[in-house]
A and B are shown apart, each in its own frame.
Chain A
Amino acid sequence: MLSAGIVIPGFVVIGLVFIGIGVALFVTSRSITVLEIDYTGVEKDSPCFKCSDPDIKNCGCKVDFSIDTLFEGPLFLYYGLSNYFQNYRQYGASKDLTQLSGDLASFKDPSDVCYPYDYSVQKPIVPCGSIANSMFNDTFKLFHIVKGTRKQVALDGKGIAWWTDYNVKFRNPLVNPLKNAFNGTTKPPFWPKPAYELDPTDPANNGFDNQDFLVWMRAAALPNFRKLYRRISEGEYEKGLPAGNYSLEIAYNYPVLQFEGRKKVVFSNVSWMGGKNEFLGIAYLVIGSLCVVMSVVMLIVYAKFKFPEED
């Protein structure tokens, strides 16, 4: 099995292939542009500092930024949260999948796992559970400032969730109008409006089919995460954001300061391998080089210490 004739060349081949992949990944990753804007408002000079006081409701703030060169599209707009434990066991489990798949019976009687967000004042909460209750509700608008006028950049919110989530996992009950299905239930306590009013303009993006809701419900694996907010993939900004000044209007609703969390907005474009990810490229390079080094070491050891052919 482990004859030198297989192992040493094998290592060389693996090493070279890995170095190749590593270089490709690294170069690709370098070509991706990422723009991160932290708007938590912890610092006094931050435009959103005024909103960081939890007592202020419906606070709005504006973040201005400029781009020197064309920010190549298609562009994606993410919101990021840090120090936020969506992977906490009880938090992640606190949802009723039957209810979310549109089963009316569990509208009336949510699962126990939703506790303590299963009933509110004797009424069942729909959608129940911690994770739905804590849905991210900041909203963003992007303006391109062209010669002093603010030109809104069209943000596309369609298809930002997984196809399977939208079509299989989360379904509205087959009741028309949707509002009737929610009779006798109440909205989650932190929500400003009930689920059937998430997007009154578009029935395909309302209730449990709301894309933002779906994106939120797909819990993040790690405490620092990004979630896709919108695409900039149509209209005149399809090819990217040209150089210039921009203004991001934020409806600041989501409190993160009490757990020392951070909120940010991220603009990024992607490549064949997805978003910017230097880890993979570097890891491949390191492992590839190690393999080559090991093959040399093994060759030396083999040549020096192999036991004699005949005893």
Chain B
Amino acid sequence: MAFWRRNTLVERERHVKANARDYNDKFSYTDNHIKTSKYNILTFLPLNLFEQLQRVANAYFIVLLILQLIPAISSLSWFTTIVPLLLVLLITAVKDATDDYFRHKNDKQVNNRQSQVLIRGSLQNEKWMNVRVGDIIKLENNQFVAADILLLCSSEPNGLCYIETAELDGETNLKVRQALTVTSDLGDVSKLVDFDGEVVCEPPNNKLDKFIGTLCWRDSKYPLDNDRMLLRGCVLRNTECCFGMVIFAGLQTKLMQNCGITKFKRTSIDKLMNTLVLWIFAFLICMGVILAIGNTIWESRIGRRFQVFLPWTEFQSSAVFSGFLTFWSYIINLNTVVPISLYVSVEVLRLGHSYFINWDKRMYHGPTNTAAVARTTTLNEELGQVQFIFSDKTGTLTQNIMVFSKCSINGQTYGDIYDEFDQKMENTEGTACVDFSFNPLCDRRFKFYDSSLVDAVKLEDPAMQEFFRLLALCHTVMPEEKTEGHLVYQAQSPDEAALVTAARNFGFVFRARTPETITLCEMGQAVAYQLLAILDFNNVRKRMSVIVRNPQGQIKLYSKGADTVIFDRLDPSSEDLMYTTSEHLSEFGGEGLRTLALAYKDLDEKEFEVWMEKLQFAGTVIENREDRLAVLYEEIEQGLKGATAIEDKLQEGVPETITCLNLADIKIWVLTGDKLETAMNIGYSCNMLRDDMNEVFVMSGHTLLEVQQQLRSAKEHILGLSRVGSAGDVEKSDMFADSVFEETIIAEYALVINGHSLAHALEPQLEHVLLDLACLCKTVICCRVTPMQKAQVVELVKRHKRAVTLAIGDGANDVSMIKTAHIGVGISGQEGMQAALASDYSFAQFRYLRRLLLVHGRWSYFRMCHFLCYFFYKNFAFTLVHFWYGFFCGFSAQTVYDQWFITLFNIVYTSLPVLAMGLFDQDVNDHISLRHPSLYRPGQQNLLFNKRQFFLCTLQGVCTSFLLFFIPYGAFSVMVREDGSHFSDQQAFSVTIATSLVIVVSVQIGLDTHYWTAVNHFFIWGSLTLYFVILFALQSNGMFGIFPSHFPFVGTARNCLSEKSVWLVILLTTVVCVVPGLVVSFLRIDLFPTPTDKVRHQLQSRKRQRPQEQNLRQSRRTSSRRSAYAFSHQQGYGELITSGKNMRTSRVSTARSAQRTQHSSNWIENVLKRKNEVSCISDESTEAPEKSDRT
């Protein structure tokens, strides 16, 4: 792979020849095999070991091991280090191996997908990994595209095919790709076999919307651009099959090039931990130096005269040299102050927390059978510190499923369900659906709950009929009736499909269309309408209309669009209706539904003909053609009558989740590729934008200056308003708009910024203004942003705010932002998995984010912090006893404990209880966590574990070690056994201190544990028992008999622990070590309670008083603000339909009208061109045929 990579670096131009593997092999292009795994069976051991030893901690222990092998300074046996080190390495290796195994599995699954490849003249099934550059492959409907391919031909007319690019850019509407005319008739295998065109194109790159190349075939050259390409990750839709030639494969595809290399994410606690470990090193060295100096002094003043018994002159030349050696010996002795098991324990904890996320039933989505998955197991505690959430919209906040749920027809609303007391009911699982059995053509998946609407339709009320007729006529959906009565609609946007399906179920079935007719089946009767014109949708018009002639010969204009737009054009006679409807729309909007108004108008023949002439004339004018058309459309749409409404479905629980996260002081920014209107609309429906906000700033400047101006004025507006009286120093407040000030702003603002403005705002000179402004606003919505901009915005916040960021999205367009943010969350369960695969956490629904952060994140952070505090405390208490002992043993690096105790203390005696605490502890349960979002704040402010906390817990450790040493010291100085034998020996001293230590740390963890599970009990009691069992086992006669020199403590435990006075010492030590901490925490709770303490206290007192369930259901917003509807589809489809280009059945009819065909030859260019409205560069090639048309 490395070899290929090197090759791609030098690749300037790519030459690919179809059906010529030999030729293409010369360039050794990457094949379609994808590898994300790191090791194989052979390389695992050496590579993994090498990687692990690169970690500072592991390297440190290797150095320590080497030190211990030097006899002159070895104060501890080598096994005290090697046993824990091997254990640590082993655990990490097992984890790495499992991770890699899953990567292998995943790779294998993708690589083994089947695709049909043209090999040696026939189509053969091949695995994806065997597809090579230059191969011609066949794709079928709903298949994923296997590589970046050049579209050659398709089953659809004119070499068209439709693709869904949600994976790539997150846009859900279908896109059109068209093959070159010269290749579009290569429709069958025999012709394709002979195809030997050569493509010369750009080298692999990550630009999704750009492709430059030429096809040389039969001695002529054809330019290629992005509209001929199907990129890996797209899905073929509405197209039976198509053929294409592979240009880029595997890792060189645009999708994979965009994925980039996964950056290793580290949590802030990780970083803090590394700093602290360095501090501890420094501390360790300090202690070593102090003790070494002590040793030098001792040797020169006391030891010197003690040499009869210790003739060290034989091996130590001077006191200074002795001090030097002592330094190293103490480094070895005190090494446990840097806990070897820290890193591995932290890993184990995070793994455990990840499994809790995976196993959480409340984050499991039944309908899609998707559980939450923690893909990265190293970030959990950071979930408890999130301050910024960057959310995608489509598919994340919204379900991207449109459902027709309510309507208001002629002043009457339908869609609410009432119970027998006329009370509005919640829509639940049990609510009965309306029975559509009267309609044989109905779609069985469609559900509606208000039967009164069906009854009304059956009464044949004209307004009612017109309503559904309009829905059935005014759209650009293509019907497909494969078998009689089995209709499938191919809509390019889900909202249109929802509307047409609704009409279908209520008896106005859209059945077939030709370029000139639309056939409906109205209440069982076939009715054909003549389609006279489609007045297409665009973003400015925000509406679309059709003009049809009904069988009675009347000409009617049907129009649907954003309510504001429609209402402006209504005939004054329907003003009353407009008010009623407007009220209803507000009501709908208040419930978070997307709304839409419908209207119709009768036209008389003459009026229409005049207009039609004008239209045709305008169609031939070259300049300002579009403007003129727009004016004409405008003209005929004046004076509409009647009105109505619908819904877009947010994901479940989105507004509640957002409100809740806001209460937890998390700022949510929406970054979407969608339109401004849609984005704002969703902003309103998920409670992010509200009417009671002081101001919603919309940035849509096109130039740097404009944007700068807008940003500045918005900021001044905010600062000026909130600083009444100091209006003069706007300049000043500009500079001091720091975080402190942000807190003091009470007024609520929102910022909506457009993609092209964002591009300017993100430039270095403006980014600070943008950031300041954005942070002053309660809500930020960025629309029309590219994947790259999403990442830039995240990066901006990450860089300047020092806050933990979380990005959530569902599509491939969110991948970059997911990877940039501290934590990336992917919505899984839909078809596309790109985002989920790149994410750190994935689940099916946005609302699970609340639980992920407020429950899992909070717990993880809480647990990790307590774990770390305890861990450092424990190791300081354990290790520093050696330091105190140094003053009484001539600074000779004598260990207090048995070597076995030192070996096992961290990995056996005390590891499991603290792990159990780190895994299961919780200060409040999940319900309380969710109910009190404010409990999340300590995590954001980093309160539970920081340098101060570290200092406090190590101080506690130091004090404990002091007491642990000096209480036995006081007792042992004159200790005598009951049988009178002397007792102040070193081994008894050691066992007493060790036992006290184990008991003290066990009691301490018991006090630190807020939430007891059986596992906690088992581990704590088990560890204590285990300590005594191992103690007696290691000091038994049998062990001594086998290795006398390794078990010098034989019999000590028996002799020591059978003494009452020893137990009195242990009891005293335990109480003295534990009680002060207890007093301090008790007083702290009463004197300086944290929010958590308050909540817990409330709960306790409430429990005592009355077990009352508090209901904290968030009420839906009651806003008068109505969401303006915006179609999610593109302009140009109207033209596509009237041209008949996309209709198989209409080939004959299109041939009939030569002029129309000519006219329509540029529609594809139009469709393609308008797709990218931001870049208004008109292509030369699109102009050229237009000119030729009109001459």
- A: residues with CB less than 8 A from B are 1-4, 7, 11, 14, 18, 21, 25, 74, 76, 78, 83, 85-92, 96-98, 100-101, 103, 111-112, 115-116, 130, 133-134, 160-165, 168-169, 215, 218-228, 231, 255, 258-260, 268, 270, 272-277, 279-280, 283-284, 287, 291, 294, 297-298, 301-302, 305-307, 309-311
Once the chains bind, are B1064 and A280 in contact (CB under 8 Å)?
yes
10 chain-A/chain-B pairs, Cβ below 8 angstroms:
A1-B1007, A85-B302, A89-B895, A164-B1052, A169-B1040, A223-B889, A270-B980, A274-B1061, A276-B976, A311-B1098
Give the one of B988, B1052, B1078 with max A CB within 10 A. Answer: B1078
Once the chains bind, are A223 and B888 in contact (CB under 8 Å)?
yes
* Docked CA distance A311–B1054 (Å): 57
Q: Which residue of B lies closest to A270 (CB)?
A: B980
Once the chains bind, are B1048 and A221 in contact (CB under 8 Å)?
no
* Docked CA distance A76–B978 (Å): 11
Once the chains bind, are B1051 and A164 in contact (CB under 8 Å)?
yes
Once the chains bind, are A268 and B976 in contact (CB under 8 Å)?
yes
Q: Closest Cβ of chain B: how far from A137's Cβ, in Å?
A: 13
Residues of A within 8 A of B980 (CB): 74, 76, 228, 231, 268, 270, 275
* Docked CA distance A215–B981 (Å): 9
* Docked CA distance A180–B1092 (Å): 77
Once the chains bind, are B890 and A88 in contact (CB under 8 Å)?
yes
Once the chains bind, are B1079 and A298 in contact (CB under 8 Å)?
yes
* Docked CA distance A103–B1101 (Å): 71
Q: Closest Cβ of chain B: how far from A192's Cβ, in Å?
A: 15
Residues of A within 8 A of B1075 (CB): 11, 14, 287, 291, 294
Residues of A within 8 A of B728 (CB): none
Once the chains bind, are A25 and B1087 in contact (CB under 8 Å)?
no
Once the chains bind, are A221 and B989 in contact (CB under 8 Å)?
yes
Residues of A within 8 A of B1089 (CB): 307
Once the chains bind, are A274 and B1085 in contact (CB under 8 Å)?
no
Q: Residue B305 at the A interface, CB < 8 A?
A: yes
Q: Residue B1083 at the A interface, CB < 8 A?
A: yes
Which residue from A86, A111, A168, A222 sits with its C-beta under 8 Å from B973? A222
Once the chains bind, are B981 and A305 in contact (CB under 8 Å)?
no
Once the chains bind, are A116 and B311 in contact (CB under 8 Å)?
yes
Which residue from B310, B982, B1068, B1078 sits with its C-beta under 8 Å from A280? B1068
- List residues 1002-1045 of chain B with CB under 8 A from any CB of chain A: 1007, 1009-1010, 1037, 1040-1041, 1044-1045
Q: Residue B102 at the A interface, CB < 8 A?
A: no
Once the chains bind, are B1050 and A164 in contact (CB under 8 Å)?
yes
Q: Which residue of B lies closest to A83 (CB)?
A: B302
Q: Which residue of B lies closest to A14 (CB)?
A: B1071
Residues of A within 8 A of B1068 (CB): 280, 283-284, 287
Q: Residue B205 at the A interface, CB < 8 A?
A: no
Q: Residue B1097 at the A interface, CB < 8 A?
A: yes
Q: Closest Cβ of chain B: how far from A223's Cβ, in Å?
A: 6
* Docked CA distance A221–B896 (Å): 9
* Docked CA distance A16–B1176 (Å): 87
Q: Which residue of B lies closest to A8 (CB)?
A: B1082
* Docked CA distance A280–B270 (Å): 44
* Docked CA distance A274–B1056 (Å): 12
Residues of B within 8 A of A164 (CB): 1037, 1050-1052, 1054-1055
Once the chains bind, are B974 and A279 in contact (CB under 8 Å)?
yes
Residues of A within 8 A of B1150 (CB): none
* Docked CA distance A48–B1079 (Å): 55
* Docked CA distance A115–B310 (Å): 10
Which residue from A7, A74, A78, A272 sits with its C-beta under 8 Å from B1060? A272
Once the chains bind, are A277 and B984 in contact (CB under 8 Å)?
no
Which residue from B309, B1086, B1098 sits with its C-beta under 8 Å from A133? B309
Q: Which residue of A lies closest to B71 (CB)?
A: A112
Interface of A is mostly: mixed
19 new A-B contacts at CB < 8 Å, known A98-B1045, A274-B977, A277-B974? A1-B1010, A7-B1082, A87-B892, A88-B306, A88-B890, A89-B889, A92-B894, A97-B1044, A115-B315, A162-B1055, A169-B1050, A222-B984, A222-B989, A227-B982, A260-B305, A272-B1060, A274-B975, A277-B1061, A306-B1086
Once the chains bind, are A88 and B892 in contact (CB under 8 Å)?
yes
Once the chains bind, are B967 and A283 in contact (CB under 8 Å)?
yes
Q: Closest Cβ of chain A: how far from B382's Cβ, in Å?
A: 27
Q: Residue B970 at the A interface, CB < 8 A?
A: yes
Q: Residue B953 at the A interface, CB < 8 A?
A: no
- List residues 955-992 of chain B with CB under 8 A from any CB of chain A: 967, 969-990
* Docked CA distance A309–B1098 (Å): 6
* Docked CA distance A152–B806 (Å): 89
Q: Residue B604 at the A interface, CB < 8 A?
A: no
Once the chains bind, are B974 and A310 in contact (CB under 8 Å)?
no
Residues of B within 8 A of A25 (CB): 1064
* Docked CA distance A25–B1065 (Å): 12
Once the chains bind, are A3 and B1100 in contact (CB under 8 Å)?
yes
* Docked CA distance A310–B1094 (Å): 10
Given A218-B987, A222-B969, A224-B973 in contact, is the A91-B310 Cβ separation under 8 Å? yes
Residues of B within 8 A of A21 (CB): 1064
Given A221-B972, A277-B971, A302-B1086 in contact, is the A228-B305 Cβ separation under 8 Å? no
Q: Closest Cβ of chain B: how far from A222's Cβ, in Å?
A: 6
Residues of B within 8 A of A284 (CB): 1064, 1068
* Docked CA distance A74–B1101 (Å): 61
Once the chains bind, are A168 and B1037 in contact (CB under 8 Å)?
yes
Once the chains bind, are A279 and B976 in contact (CB under 8 Å)?
no
Given A162-B981, A309-B1101 in contact, is the A87-B1083 Cβ separation under 8 Å? no
Q: Which residue of B lies closest to A24 (CB)?
A: B1064
Q: Which residue of A lies closest to B1059 (CB)?
A: A274
Once the chains bind, are B1061 and A273 in contact (CB under 8 Å)?
yes
Once the chains bind, are B1059 and A226 in contact (CB under 8 Å)?
no
Q: Which residue of A lies closest to B981 (CB)?
A: A228
Give the one of B309, B890, B971, B1094 with max A CB within 10 A. Answer: B309
Q: Residue B312 at the A interface, CB < 8 A?
A: yes
Q: Closest Cβ of chain B: how far from A7's Cβ, in Å?
A: 5
Residues of B within 8 A of A161 (CB): 981
The 9 closest A-B pairs by CB, nearest first: A164-B1051, A275-B976, A221-B989, A89-B892, A76-B980, A134-B309, A87-B889, A89-B894, A279-B970
Once the chains bind, are B310 and A88 in contact (CB under 8 Å)?
yes
Residues of A within 8 A of B1064 (CB): 21, 25, 273, 280, 284
Once the chains bind, are A87 and B974 in contact (CB under 8 Å)?
no
Given A228-B981, A270-B978 in contact, is the A283-B970 Cβ separation under 8 Å? yes
Once the chains bind, are B1072 and A287 in contact (CB under 8 Å)?
yes
* Docked CA distance A275–B1061 (Å): 10
Q: Closest Cβ of chain B: how far from A73's Cβ, in Å?
A: 10
Residues of B within 8 A of A101 (CB): 1040, 1044
* Docked CA distance A225–B1009 (Å): 42
Residues of B within 8 A of A280 (CB): 970-971, 1061, 1064-1065, 1068
* Docked CA distance A307–B1098 (Å): 10
- List residues 293-329 of chain B with CB under 8 A from any CB of chain A: 302-303, 305-306, 308-312, 314-315, 329
Q: Closest Cβ of chain A: how far from B31's Cβ, in Å?
A: 61
Residues of B within 8 A of A98 (CB): 1044-1045
Once the chains bind, are A2 and B1085 in contact (CB under 8 Å)?
yes
Q: Residue B1081 at the A interface, CB < 8 A?
A: yes
Residues of A within 8 A of B1059 (CB): 274
* Docked CA distance A136–B1071 (Å): 39
* Docked CA distance A164–B1052 (Å): 8
Residues of B within 8 A of A228 (CB): 980-982
Give the one of A2, A96, A215 with max B CB within 10 A. Answer: A2
Which residue from B310, B1065, B1081 sits with its C-beta under 8 Å from A130? B310
Q: Closest Cβ of chain A: how far from B1083's Cβ, in Å?
A: 6
Once the chains bind, are A86 and B974 in contact (CB under 8 Å)?
no
Q: Residue B75 at the A interface, CB < 8 A?
A: yes
Q: Which residue of B lies closest to A75 (CB)?
A: B980
* Docked CA distance A79–B425 (Å): 94
Once the chains bind, are B986 and A91 in contact (CB under 8 Å)?
no
Q: Residue B179 at the A interface, CB < 8 A?
A: no
* Docked CA distance A258–B895 (Å): 27
